[in-house]
Amino acid sequence: MCKQEKYASSIEQNRVLTEEKTSLEDLLNKIAMENDSLKQENDLLDSLIRVERDKNAFVSKKDYVKPKAKKSSLSKNDEADKKALFIYNFTSYVSWPKFNADKFLIGMVGNTGVKSMLENYTKGKSFAKAPIEVQSYKAGVNYQMIFVSAAGANDFAKIKKENAGKTVLLITENTLYNKIGGHIGFLCGWR
């Protein structure tokens, strides 16, 4: 074989190896992206499992260590009032894309004192010329905000699923739900 043939052969070998390297790098990148996606799904499932396990866990009295949460200086009534005020103020501080409904609806899940306080704050108020209305949550209604109280926390997954793809702000009384789909969670010390 002459030098030119050897050179041409080595050039062809180099091209083939470069193509193989590129296709292997593409495959590795695809696998890495799938791995990241699976890791995110796994983390979400782990969070959900921990929530369910903790909710259903039986701990004997001798093994139970009471958490040392700071005692809130607010009464339950004052805390409900503050939460209602925050929820009302979210109407002004959150961007509501393409809002053109007849009413600005806030759905309340669970029996909570926040609802009556929020009704007082929103009485006679409007957003983009639409009256603000607070109501008990009903599936199928297009809410702008949904507040899931501690009493309604068992319905969080169902509510999240019912509102998938909608432009809705999910507010909870449990910051743990922020990891699985809640947008804003209140942290309370007196619980």
CA 59 – CA 65 distance, rounded (Å): 10
190 falls within a domain: no
Structurally, how many domains does the chain consist of? Answer: 2
Question: Do 19 and 80 fall within a single domain?
Answer: no
137 falls within a domain: yes
**Considering the entire predicted model, what is its pTM?**
0.57
pLDDT in tens, 146-191: 898 878 878 888 888 888 888 888 888 765 554 555 555 554 443 3
Question: Do 143 and 115 fall within a single domain?
Answer: yes
Burial class (CB in 10 A: 0-12, 13-18, 19+), 157: middle
Question: Do 92 and 153 fall within a single domain?
Answer: yes
Question: Do 103 and 168 fall within a single domain?
Answer: yes
Question: What's the whole-number average pLDDT of the chain?
Answer: 77
Measuring CA to CA, which residue among 98, 84, 87 is closest to residue 166? 98
Phi, psi of 147 (to 5 degrees): -105, 120
* Residue ending a domain, choose from 24, 40, 66: 66
Q: Of all residues in the chain, what percent carry a pLDDT higher than 90? A: 16
pLDDT in tens, 6-32: 888 889 998 998 888 888 777 776 776
Structural domain harbouring 31: 1-66
